[in-house]
Amino acid sequence: MRKLIVGNWKMNGSLLSNADLLRALRTGLPAEPAADVAVCVPFPYLAQVQGACAGGPIAWGAQDVSAHEAGAYTGEVSASMLRDFGCRYVIVGHSERRQYHGETDDVVARKAQRALAAGITPIVCVGETQAQRDQGDTEFIVKRQLAAVIHVVGHCVSEIVVAYEPVWAIGTGRTATPEQAQAVHAVLRAQLRAAVPNERRVRILYGGSMNAGNAAALLAQPDIDGGLIGGASLKADEFLRIIAAAD
Ligand code: PGA
């Protein structure tokens, strides 16, 4: 399966720094990159990224989407609006949304459903906290999070991307070892296999302090189909080296 490397810019960037970063990425990427590449950017920069990436190998997406279709939801952004900007992807259920905005498994599942209905691929994030891992609950937690999405979207689950992001590894510099990550990815792969016949289409990304130094070992695991990269996606050189490691 062709790997997918996604940059999650989080709440970072400016018109100026984005232009520099995107120019460096477009210059540095080979005409046919070793992997599919995307950047998920803050809403105000979608138009900029759409313009800067048009006709090139970098796809783009957003970091959240409303669970509602349209109407009186002040401050929210709908899936059809993202579609207007040519978004190919949207991250849903990132642990920072679950933690700071109280997003439940059900809300995350409905966001994934809205994205799919608009023809956008949701990147569904799952992952355990350190306390949950310490209690031996990792498998239970990630399966519960993914099950909610499978329950709501049904057979369309073959159209999603899953990102396993252990909360304790996000932004901490503490990456899961390739073995730790692979063990969870295998669990998720088995869960998908039981849910849909064509589960092989579903890419399962690893995220959490992935960088140019550890990417190759993680991406070499049999069930790790790409990466969701936060901090390291803001540095063109580092992000390009991660993409190259996906070969
Ligand atoms: P990180 O973030 O690479 O900075 O750990 C990953 C993410 O939160 O998607």
127 lines ligand 1 (CB under 6 A): no
Structure tokens at 243: 């993409």
Query: Is 120 buried (19+), middle (13-18) or exposed (0-12) by CB count in 10 A?
Result: buried
| pLDDT attached to residue 36 | 98
Q: Which residues are catalytic?
A: 94, 165
231 lines ligand 1 (CB under 6 A): yes
CATH number at 4-66+85-245: 3.20.20.70
| pLDDT attached to residue 217 | 98
Summarize pLDDT for 63-92 with one digit per residue, the tens: 999 999 999 999 999 999 999 999 999 999
Q: How many CA atoms lie within 13 A of 76 on its CB side?
A: 16
Statement: residue 200 has pLDDT above 90: no
Statement: residue 213 has pLDDT above 90: yes
| pLDDT attached to residue 172 | 93
- Annotated domain spans of the chain: 4-66+85-245
Summarize pLDDT for 118-139 with one digit per residue, the tens: 999 999 999 999 999 999 999 9
* Average pLDDT of the residues of the chain: 97
Q: Give residue 195's pLDDT band: very low, low, confident or very high (50, 70, 90).
A: very high
